[in-house]
Amino acid sequence: MADAAIGDLARRAKRAIVAGGTGLWIRALLRGLVEAPGASAEFRAGFRRELEREGVAALHARLERVDPDAARAIGTNDRVRIERALEVHALSGRRLSDLQREHAFAEERYPARVISLDPPRELLHDRIARRTRTLFESGALERETRWLLDRCERVPAARKALKIIGYGEMAAALAGRSTPDEAEARVTARTRQYAKRQRTWFGKEYGPASEWPPDAARLCADGARWYDGG
């Protein structure tokens, strides 16, 4: 969808302004993705049966045999990435690590000016805490989690969404496995950890962030020059 929108703008001699998105999403947009086989329902059903029978450690050991480099990069308990690496090898006969090295995110799909904002840690932590408190006090997170749990009863694959920050913690609170205060504290902590990973990733990928507080006038002027092709 993003490619289609950018293409439409380009045909009208306009540039796209993209806001937000995770680091991986932005990298995929600007640099493309590794060409690998799509998901196989048959393979994944078999993987889950083996996971229940043998455990994740045994499947990680299998990955070490077929793709040692991928195994070193993937945690021994990271079921999702272990599954994907084994799936790519099973469907294509090639190692995922080799495909990633060949791709190396080296293709520049679009010329881009990337601007990242990085507020002081204390300010960021305060905003995360206030946002989390609002999610709990407003009831929005509880309503969405109840809807998701209901969907999981009908579509078991939807349980994967419970790994998203907030849903799993609220589900635990609704089931009585934790208190609402404990769930809120856990959501806040996980969000801080996620923010730290994003800050590290953006710094490594695109260099230092813009100064804080941001000079809005200068950023707008720079953006306007870039937009006009300068």
Sign of the C-alpha dihedral computed for residues 117, 120, 123 and 129 taken in this order: positive
Q: Residue 60 pLDDT > 70, yes or no?
A: yes
Q: What pLDDT is attached to residue 230?
A: 60
For the segment 114-124, what is each residue's pLDDT rounded down to a tens digit?
888 899 999 99
Q: What pLDDT is attached to residue 124?
A: 96
| pLDDT bracket for residue 62 (50, 70, 90) | very high
| 3-class secondary structure, 210 | strand
For the segment 68-89, what is each residue's pLDDT rounded down to a tens digit?
999 999 999 899 999 999 999 9
Report d(CA 197, CA 191) in Å as an integer.
10
| pLDDT bracket for residue 208 (50, 70, 90) | confident
> What's the DSSP call for residue 211?
P
Q: What does the mean pLDDT of the chain come to?
A: 92
- Identify the weakest region by mean pLDDT among 53-62, 113-122, 171-180: 113-122
Q: pTM of the entire structure?
A: 0.74
Q: What pLDDT is attached to residue 68?
A: 96
Report d(CA 210, CA 196) in Å as an integer.
17
| pLDDT bracket for residue 19 (50, 70, 90) | confident
Q: Residue 228 pLDDT > 90, yes or no?
A: no
Report d(CA 177, CA 155) in Å as an integer.
23
Give the mean model confidence (pLDDT) for residues 141-160: 93
Report d(CA 192, CA 58) in Å as an integer.
32
Residues 6+ apart with CB under 8 A from 84: 96
Residues 6+ apart with CB under 8 A from 103: 32, 33, 34, 35
Q: Residue 15 pLDDT > 90, yes or no?
A: no
